[in-house]
Structure 1
Amino acid sequence: MWRVNVDGVRNLIQACREAGVSVLVHTSTLAVKMGGQKLMEHTESLSPHVSEDALILGDYARGRVRAAELVLEAHDGPTQTGTRLRTVVLRPPLLYGEGDRAFVPYVFRLARAGGNTMPSFGNPDAFQPAAYVGNVAAAHVMALRKLLREDDASQLQRVGGLPVYVTDDTPPNNLPGLAYPFLRHLDLQPARDLSYWTVAILLLLAKAWGAVRSAFGLNPAGPSALPSWTLHRLGQTIAVVSRMRAELSMGYTPPFSWPEALARSTAYYGAAFPGEKA
C-alpha cells in the first residue's frame, strides 16, 4: 500500500518534472483528518491537526497524508523544460455512485447477512458527508482549469499548493444512513438502534467465538452481519467540512444535484445487484 500511495506519487512527481508537466491535481481523502476530533463545518485552515498515530484508517491514512505532503511540497517547483509545476490536493469524503464496489455493496452484504436488516455500526449521531463521484470528478476538471490560469488570480483566490475539501449537496448522515437511500428499493428493514459500545462488544464476542471455532477445527461461521472494526470506528467520528475554498477559489459548484445523484446512483446499484427484489 505504501509503495503505491507514497512511492508511486513520488515517482509521478518526478515524471512530471522530467516531462515538463505544468499541473498536477492529486486526489486525497477526508480520512487524513479523521482521528477522533469533531469537524463541524471546518475549513481546511481551521481543521485541527491529527497525529498520525490517531488516524482511524491507520496505515492507509498515514500513506495518504505523506503522499499529499509530497504533492504540496512540489508546488511551484521547476521542471526540466524550464516551466513550473503547480499542484493542488483535493480531499473528497466517502464516495458513492458509478464504480463503487466498497461502500454501498459492502453495507448491502451486511444487510443480507443480518436477515435483510440494515446494519447498525458507528455512532448513530455521528454525521459525515458523502459525495457523488460525478461531482468529485467535475471538481478535478475545475481544479485543473484553475491552476492553468492561476497567474491571473489574486492571492486569496489561489489554490496552488493547498488542500481543498470537495463535497456536494448529499445530506450528511451516519454511515448506515448514507448507504440506505441507494438500498431503499430492496425492502430492507431499518437499522436497529444499537449504541456504539453495544456493537463494539458484539465485535469482540464474535472475534472470540471465531478463535474458539478455529481452535476446535470447526469451519468458519457464515457471512457476518457485523461490520469490520475499522468501519465501526470510522462511523463514530463527526466530520462535516466546509467547501468554501472550492467554491471561492475554484468556482466549484456540484453539477449534479442530490436528486440527480440519487437517481443515477440508484440505477447503478440496481444493476450491480442483479436478481434482487426491487
Structure 2
Amino acid sequence: MRKPMKVIVGDIVKMEEARKAFRGVDCVIHCAAMVSYQFPPDHESLDRVNVTGTRNVVSLCVEMGIPRLVFCSTSEVTLTPYLGGIFAVIINQTEYKALPPSRDKEQKLLLPGYPASKLRAEKVILAANNTLLANGRGRLHTVALRPTLLYGEQDPRLVTSLIHLSEKMDGSLVRFAGTGGLQQFTYVGNAAWAHLRAKDQLLVTRPGGGIAGLPIFVTDDTPAGDLFTFAQKVTTRADLPPRCCLSRWYIPAFLAYLMAILLELVVLILRVPLSFPPRGVVSFLGSTVLYNRLRAAVHLDYTPIFQPQESYSRANKYYTRNKSFDKINL
C-alpha cells in the first residue's frame, strides 16, 4: 500500500529548523549525514553534521515524545588493519567479533574522517537507548544499522566515482591496488528494507530486550568481490564496453601504498585537498571484508527482498543511462 510522503527541508544542526520534521511522528529513521572522504578530512564539518546533528536528533526525539529511533551507520566503523598491517581482514564475523576501535584509537580506522564521525554518532545513538521521554510516556528505543557498501539508484559516489575515473582514463580503469581484495556490496533497496524492519521491531521491543541498544550489520546476497570488478559488472552495456572497463595490468598493492604515502605528503605540503584518502583507498581495496548478518536475520526478521539478479538489473539501468553523472569531483 502506497503511503503519502511529505517533504520537509531542514538542517539537523539547527534544532529549531529541524523540529518541524519531528511533529506528529512515532519513529525517526536518521539517515542524514555529511558523507565525505576528503583528504585531509574536514573534521570540524564532519563532527558538526554527523555528531552534533545526531545529538540534536536524539534530543528532539526525547523532547517530542518519539519512542523509536533507527540510525543509519556504516560497517566502515569496524575497519581497522589486521595485525598492524595495511589491510583489514574480516571473515564471516558478527557484531561480537568485528568491533569498532575505542575513542583513543579511532585514527587506526582504514578510512580517515567520515567513519570516525559516524562511529561517534553511533555511540550517541546507542547510549541514548532507554532514555525517559520528556512527556513521561515511555522511553526512547534506539538501534544502529551498519550496511556495507551501498550500490544502486541515486548512488552519488561509489560506482559513479569509478565511472568518472574511467572516463578520465579514456575508458580504462587501472587497478591501482593489486588484483583487489574481497568486499561485500548491498543493494540500496535491501538496505532500505532493513531500516523498515528495524522500525517495526522497535515497536515490539521489550525493556532490556530485542534489538534496542544494538548495532546490526546489514548485507544481502550480492556476491562478494573486489570493487573494480563489481563496478565493471554493474556498468556493462549491450553494444558498448562497460562504463568501468578494467585494464589488463595492475599496480601491486604495496607499491600503490608507497605511492599513496608520497601523494599524501605532496597534498599536505601544497595544501590542495583530494576527494579521497590515497592510503585509505588502497588499504580498503586490498582488504577482505565479509560480515555475518545473523543478528539482522534473527532480531530484525530481515531477508533481502531484492535478489542479486534484480538488484544488478535495477542498478545497471541507473549506471548505464546516457546522462552523465554530475557534481562528482576526483
After TM superposition, is the score higher than 0.5?
yes
Percent identity between the two aligned chains: 30
Confirm or deny: 8 A CA contact 2:228 2:246 kept in the other structure.
no
Q: Match for 1:94 among 132, 146, 149? A: 149
Name which of structure 1's ranges 246-255 and 185-194 shifts more when overlaid on structure 2: 185-194
| Partner deviation per Cα, 1:70-117 (whole Å, 9 max, x = no partner) | 100111110111121000000001111111110111111221222321
Map of 1:164-203 to 2, 5 A cutoff? 164-185=216-237, 186-188=240-242, 189-191=245-247, 192-203=249-260
Query: Using a 3 Å threshold, how does the CA distance of structure 1 residues 190 and 24 change in structure 2: closer, same or farther?
Result: same
Report what 2:289 is aligned to: 239
Structure 1 gaps, min length 5: 215-219, 221-225
Separation in structure 1 between the aligned mates of residue 153 and residue 267 of structure 2, nearest angstrom:
35
Separation in structure 1 between the aligned mates of residue 211 and residue 79 of structure 2, nearest angstrom:
22
Q: 3-state SS of the aligned residue for 1:230?
A: helix
Report what 2:175 is aligned to: 120
Report what 1:60 is aligned to: 114
Q: Match for 2:92 among 16, 41, 53? A: 41
Confirm or deny: 8 A CA contact 1:123 1:236 kept in the other structure.
yes
Query: Using a 3 Å threshold, how does the CA distance of structure 1 residues 272 and 205 change in structure 2: closer, same or farther?
Result: farther
Separation in structure 2 between the aligned mates of residue 33 and residue 165 of structure 1, nearest angstrom:
10
Map of 1:72-221 to 2, 5 A cutoff? 72-82=126-136, 83-151=138-206, 155=209, 158-185=210-237, 186-188=240-242, 189-191=245-247, 192-203=249-260
Separation in structure 2 between the aligned mates of residue 63 and residue 49 of structure 1, nearest angstrom:
12
Query: Using a 3 Å threshold, how does the CA distance of structure 1 residues 273 and 84 change in structure 2: closer, same or farther?
Result: same
Runs of 4+ displaced beyond 6 Å: 205-212
Confirm or deny: 8 A CA contact 1:123 1:174 kept in the other structure.
no
Q: Match for 2:315 among 262, 265, 269? A: 265
Query: Using a 3 Å threshold, how does the CA distance of structure 1 residues 235 and 160 change in structure 2: closer, same or farther?
Result: same
Separation in structure 1 between the aligned mates of residue 293 and residue 226 of structure 2, nearest angstrom:
19
| Partner deviation per Cα, 1:219-272 (whole Å, 9 max, x = no partner) | x9xxxxx99443223212211100000001110001000000000011111226
Query: Using a 3 Å threshold, how does the CA distance of structure 1 residues 47 and 138 change in structure 2: closer, same or farther?
Result: same
Confirm or deny: 8 A CA contact 1:110 1:119 kept in the other structure.
no
Q: 3-state SS of the aligned residue for 1:105?
A: helix
Query: Using a 3 Å threshold, how does the CA distance of structure 1 residues 48 and 243 change in structure 2: closer, same or farther?
Result: same
Per the TM alignment, residue 124 of structure 1 is displaced from its structure 2 partner at its CA by 2.8
Confirm or deny: 8 A CA contact 2:128 2:140 kept in the other structure.
yes
AA aligned opposite 1:11: N
User: Is 1:5 matched with 2:47?
Assistant: no
Q: Match for 1:15 among 60, 68, 73? A: 60
AA aligned opposite 2:255: T
Separation in structure 2 between the aligned mates of residue 103 and residue 254 of structure 1, nearest angstrom:
21
Q: Greater helix percent: which structure? A: 1
Query: Using a 3 Å threshold, how does the CA distance of structure 1 residues 26 and 107 change in structure 2: closer, same or farther?
Result: same
Per the TM alignment, residue 209 of structure 1 is displaced from its structure 2 partner at its CA by 8.9
TM-score, reference length from structure 2: 0.72
TM-score, reference length from structure 1: 0.85
Per the TM alignment, residue 204 of structure 1 is displaced from its structure 2 partner at its CA by 5.8
Report what 2:14 is aligned to: none
Query: Using a 3 Å threshold, how does the CA distance of structure 1 residues 173 and 259 change in structure 2: closer, same or farther?
Result: same
Separation in structure 1 between the aligned mates of residue 100 and residue 77 of structure 2, nearest angstrom:
10
Give the root-mean-square deviation of aligned CA atoms.
Answer: 2.7
Q: Greater strand percent: which structure? A: 2
Structure 2 gaps, min length 5: 1-45, 83-88, 326-330
Separation in structure 2 between the aligned mates of residue 2 and residue 249 of structure 1, nearest angstrom:
31
Q: 3-state SS of the aligned residue for 2:232?
A: helix
Q: 3-state SS of the aligned residue for 1:106?
A: helix
Separation in structure 2 between the aligned mates of residue 89 and residue 25 of structure 1, nearest angstrom:
6
Name which of structure 1's ranges 107-116 and 26-35 shifts more when overlaid on structure 2: 107-116
